[in-house]
């Protein structure tokens, strides 16, 4: 198993934890030099906070753990394409790379609805890679929303 696959599996574990808490099943993990700095999952419902997305929570935890607002050299693994808010936070935190499972056609700010991560006018660009563990990520989302209907 590659390092990317191993870290994406941790993000999937976080997504499953979100599902078990009746949150939209999205998980995120931030890694630098093979070390996990932070893990998180969506908590928007439980915290009654529309900004409590997995990626934002992971960024908050990672910056707290390193004691600095920049996360240069870090990779964020997330099960779903970051939304505009999360993509903006990723750029502001200066992450190096984002790896996600499945596109979010309705809210995605990395490729689906916009190109926030690598916009040519931005002062920092983040490399995005999609498709890792896409089927597992998609299945978690589909099963969650099917159970709500």
The number of beta carbons lying within 10 Å of the beta carbon of residue 118 is 15
Active site residues: 55
3-state secondary structure the chain: CCHHHHHHHHHHHHHHHHHHCCCCCCEEEEEECCEEEEEEECCCCCCCCCCCCHHHHHHHHHHHHHCCCCCCCEEEEEEECCEHHHHHHHHHCCCCEEEEEECCCCCECCCCCCCCCCCCCCCCCCEEEECCCHHHHHHHHHHHHHHHC
Quote the tokens at residue 75.
């990779």
What SS3 class is residue 121? Answer: coil
């Amino acid at each position: 198993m590659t390092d990317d696959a191993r870290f994406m599996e941790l993000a999937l574990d976080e997504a499953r934890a979100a599902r078990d808490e009746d949150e939209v099943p999205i998980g995120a993990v931030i890694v630098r030099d093979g070390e996990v700095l932070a893990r998180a999952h969506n908590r928007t419902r439980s915290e009654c906070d529309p900004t409590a997305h997995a990626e934002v929570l992971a960024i908050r935890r990672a910056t707290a753990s390193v004691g600095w607002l920049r996360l240069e050299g870090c990779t964020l693994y997330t099960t779903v394409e970051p939304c505009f808010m999360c993509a903006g936070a990723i750029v502001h935190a200066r992450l190096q790379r984002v790896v996600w499972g499945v596109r979010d056609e309705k809210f995605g700010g990395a490729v689906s609805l916009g190109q926030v991560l690598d916009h040519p006018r931005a002062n920092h660009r983040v490399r995005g890679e999609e498709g890792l563990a896409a089927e597992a990520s998609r299945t978690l989302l589909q099963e969650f929303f099917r159970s709500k209907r």
